[in-house]
Each structure stands twice: as structure tokens, then as C-alpha cells.
Amino acid sequence: MGASRAIVFVLIFFAAAVTLAGNSTFATLKGSPDLRSASAIVLRENGDIIYGKDVNTVRPIASITKLMTAMVILDAKLDLNENITITREDRDLIRQTGSRLGYGAILSRRELLLLALMSSENRAASALGRTFPGGLQAFIAQMNHKAASLGMNDSGFADPAGLNANNVSTASDLAKMLAAADGYPLITQSTTTKRKEVRPFAKRGTLTYGNTNRLLKNESWNIELSKTGYINEAGRCLVMQVHIAGENVSIILLNSFGKLTPYGDSNRLRKWLLAST
């Protein structure tokens, strides 16, 4: 080997070693986490895929939709302290689900945003879309515009709450949406709030809401952002930004069968990742 070729070889080897060192946290992953979710993707903060399963299949995403709802509201820089009244227009005509926010309930836009993200309150999300400048259809158009701007080319949005099965995306696209949502402090704060009391009726007591993600009660998890979702067509869904072994990791789980499956899959993923450190 000539001197010049030897130098090139050494430089290439050194560069490869640096890259490996930079990716060494999860460099020794073995086997598979054996997830039950139909689609899943796990990424590092730099976008490197750690694990993927059926990542490009378009699926309904249920209330994961509310992350897009929140981003559109915050992008519009609307007055978060403005009071909004729940009306009959906010009722669920698709699933016929109920709500403790009865007609006439009054909360600030900030409180509605919190309840939509934390406890997946459907009327809260619907009211946010209804009171958007230009009305509900303008809001939905802006949701789809935002998705296109993020490169979510296989996604579509049809309502602010995620009740419509035409709110669809892929695990790959949702990774982009999750990364974008992580840039909004109010979204990270709201989705990780465990409990919130509100007073939507002047002559009644407070209403207490809890977070839909039970992993927030588990001290072994360090969660920065999360959102759950469920309708029959979507199955159980869960997206999270978490810290594992000093790394920021995105987890997207779609169409899990069974109420506890997303949490079981999340714990299997965490155990699998930690085994490599």
C-alpha cells in the first residue's frame, strides 16, 4: 500500500470511528423489542431511526390530531387569555361522546388548549377550531397547510379533535409532527401536566382533569411531551418525546390492540434500549 493510500485509509477509519462514537449510546442493540403496535418508529434527536415497523402505512390517528390543533392555534398568536364559551356546535356528532364541558361553559383559550392536550377533551379542541379566524373550515385548511409545510406528505386532517377517521398519517410523518410540537413550550408543558382544576361554571364547583398518559405517573420515565389517541378505526395510539440514557428519543406507536398495549410497548422499547447501554 502506497503512503498516500495508507493515509486515506487511516482518515476514513478515523472518521468511521468518530461516527460510531457519536452514535454509541444505542450502538449495541440486539434482537427486537417485539412490539404489538401495528406501526412504530423510534428516532434519536438527530433523526436517525433506531427502530421502525411499518412506518409508511397511512392510518387514522385519532386524538394525536390535537398536537396539530395546538400548533395551529399557537402559530396564529391568538389571545390565549380570551374567554371562549362552549356551544352546541362543539358537540361530538360523529362518536356521540359526552363531555363535562356543558353548553355555556366558559374557559380561556389557554385552558381549552391545556384540556385538549392533557386530557384529550374533544369539546375543548372543537371550540378552539370553531373560534379560529375564518371559522372551522379555515382552521382545518390551516392544519393541512401546516402538515404540508412540515413535509407530512402522507397526512390529512379533517377536524380539530381527531374524531373523524379521515385524520390520517404515518409513523414517519408523525415523527416530523412530534419534532415540530416539541418546539412549543406550552405544548410540552400541557401534555406533561398530570392534573388540572378548572372552573367553567360560575355557580358550580371546580372540575378536575387528569392526563391520559399513565406513564407520567411512572418515575422511571422522563417524558417531555406526550399525546394519546383512540377511536375504533385507529386503535390505541401514543406518541412521546422522552429522555432515555441521556438521549432525547421520539416514540410513535399506532394501532395498538388493547388499552394497555401502547404502555406495554413503550416499556418493552425502554428496556430494549437500556439493555444496549
pLDDT of residue 276: 82
Angle at 91 between CA 139 and CA 95, to 5 degrees: 100
Q: Which residues pair with 108 in a beta bridge?
A: 83
Active-site residues, by number, are 63, 66, 120
> Using a CB cutoff of 8 Å and minimum separation of 24, what contacts does 134-140 make?
136/160, 139/72
| From the candidate CATH numbers 3.40.50.300, 3.40.710.10, 3.20.20.80, 3.40.50.10710, the one assigned to the domain spanning 31-274 | 3.40.710.10
Q: What single-letter DSSP state applies at residue 253?
A: E
The torsion defined by the Cα of 184, 154, 115 and 75, in degrees rounded to 10, comes to: 40
| Regions in the chain scoring below 50 on pLDDT | 1-22
pLDDT of residue 144: 98
- Cα dihedral sign for 42, 48, 51, 56? positive
pLDDT of residue 173: 98
CA–CA dist 242, 216 (Å, integer)? 11
pLDDT of residue 9: 34
* The length of the chain, given as a count of residues: 277
* Residue found under cell 413550550: 185
Q: Which residues pair with 226 in a beta bridge?
A: 240
pLDDT of residue 71: 99
Q: For the segment 211-261, what is each residue's pLDDT rounded down to a tens digit? A: 999 999 999 999 999 999 999 999 999 999 999 999 999 999 999 988 999
- Please state, as a whole number, how many other Cβ atoms lie within 10 Å of the Cβ of residue 15: 10
pLDDT of residue 277: 78
pLDDT of residue 3: 43
CA–CA dist 73, 192 (Å, integer)? 19
Domain positions in the chain? 31-274
pLDDT of residue 235: 97
Say how far residue 2 (Cα) sits from the centre of its chain: 54
Residues 6+ apart with CB under 8 A from 218: none
